[in-house]
């Protein structure tokens, strides 16, 4: 049985469904043994809970109880005022300073790493050991490739 169906059966037992849904659930419960067992079990649990629920009585009547509260409010003149829940000044300043310093440190770290060449385009130079040879290097980050053109220096 699906969880949604079990919740719908429980809503039916608790009289939380409208008339149309209640009729549909009654037909559905009558047609399936598993659903009927869940429905009957939920009704039994509800009845046992209601029958065995302890009954608490106030030492005085409800009207007298509420009149005492009304008199206490009237005698004090006003309702109690809570203290302000604002945070103290210095901890708020320290929190902002720490956040600002953290951001500044992160920016400084990124600038330092970028200047050392650890982030960003990497340029590799290739040197020729022969004086009569020349090279041209091209690197493309988008294509992730490097092209090296090697030619004879006399070819110019």
Instruction: Provide the pLDDT for residue 154.
Output: 67
pLDDT (average), residues 106-129 = 66
How large a percentage of the chain has pLDDT more than 70? 76
CA pair distance 109, 114, nearest whole angstrom = 9
Kindly list the domain boundaries of the chain, sorted by start residue: 3-51, 121-156
What is the C-alpha separation between 152 and 144, in angstroms, rounded?
Answer: 27
pLDDT value of position 44: 92
pTM over 0.95: no
Supply the pLDDT for residue 127: 59
Q: What does the alpha-carbon distance between residue 40 and residue 44 come to, in Å, rounded to a whole number?
A: 6
Residue 37 — pLDDT band, cuts 50, 70, 90?
very high
Res. 50 pLDDT band, cuts 50 70 90: confident
């Amino acid at each position: 049985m699906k969880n949604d169906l079990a919740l719908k059966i429980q809503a039916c037992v608790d009289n939380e469904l409208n008339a149309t849904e209640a009729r549909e659930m009654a037909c559905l419960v009558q047609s399936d043994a598993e659903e009927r067992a869940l429905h009957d079990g939920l009704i039994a649990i509800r009845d046992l809970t209601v029958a065995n629920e302890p009954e608490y009585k106030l030492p005085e009547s409800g009207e007298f109880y509420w009149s005492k509260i009304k008199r206490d409010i009237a005698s004090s003149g006003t309702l109690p005022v809570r203290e302000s829940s604002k945070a103290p000044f210095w901890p708020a300043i320290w929190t902002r300073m720490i956040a600002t310093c953290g951001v500044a440190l992160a920016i400084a770290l990124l600038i330092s790493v970028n200047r050392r060449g650890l982030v960003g385009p990497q340029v590799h130079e290739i040197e020729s050991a022969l004086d009569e040879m020349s090279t041209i290097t091209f690197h493309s980050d988008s294509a992730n490739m490097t092209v090296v053109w090697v030619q004879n220096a006399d070819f110019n």
